[in-house]
Amino acid sequence: MKIILKKIHAFLVKLPIVWFVLIMIALNFLISLSISFVLVDIFKIDKPHTYIYIIKFPYWLQLIILLPAAFLETIIYVWLVFKILRLIKYFRNNIIIIILISALLFSISHHDNLNHLIITFFSGVLFAYSYLVAEEKNFSPVLIVTIIHFTFNVIVFSIINAFYL
């Protein structure tokens, strides 16, 4: 299993940055959709309600709100977590622990209900992992994660606006 993960990581690091970003957005969407299907349809856990508050705004205003939100969440839950935890000797060689802590904090900040908590945890893992890969590619990790996060949010809010309003 570890060998497979290393091969996948090597593949993702070698990808051009645009392809990497597109894959992370698609993966985030597919994982979120799959988890939501399992939690809502099989285990009957409520759908997230967070989006209901923001979709009351005009669509153009939602888009304006999403960009700084994605940027600030990237700074707080990814960049800051990486910076602080890398200062602690124990975490320097435990990148998986840093990714999981980052994802957990990101998830807790989206504590609308259990469904949203679980979905945002996996999104947080992808965002933190994307940060790591962007660092290895010598791209701005904050910019890359913000782009992935913002684009994912735009897709989700576009679907919500199209089908639920």
Q: What is the pLDDT of residues 56-82, one digit of tens each?
A: 677 778 788 889 999 999 999 999 999
Phi and psi at residue 7, in whole multiples of 5°? Answer: -65, -40
Q: Is residue 9 part of a domain?
A: no
CA geometry: angle 87, 109, 31, nearest 5 deg: 95
Amino acid at 109: S
CB atoms within 10 A of CB 142: 15
Cα–Cα distance, 85 to 19 (Å, whole number)? 29
Q: Which domain holds residue 33?
A: 15-164
Condensed to tens digits (0 to 9), the pLDDT of residues 122-163 reads: 999 999 999 999 999 999 999 999 999 999 999 988 887 777
The answer to whether the predicted template modeling score (pTM) of the entire model surpasses 0.85 is yes
Q: Is residue 99 part of a domain?
A: yes
Q: Is residue 51 part of a domain?
A: yes
Q: Is residue 3 part of a domain?
A: no
Phi and psi at residue 164, in whole multiples of 5°? Answer: -115, 5
Q: Is residue 63 part of a domain?
A: yes
Residue found by looking up tokens 């090597």 in the block:
10
Count the domains in the chain.
1
Q: Is residue 109 part of a domain?
A: yes
Cα–Cα distance, 111 to 124 (Å, whole number)? 13
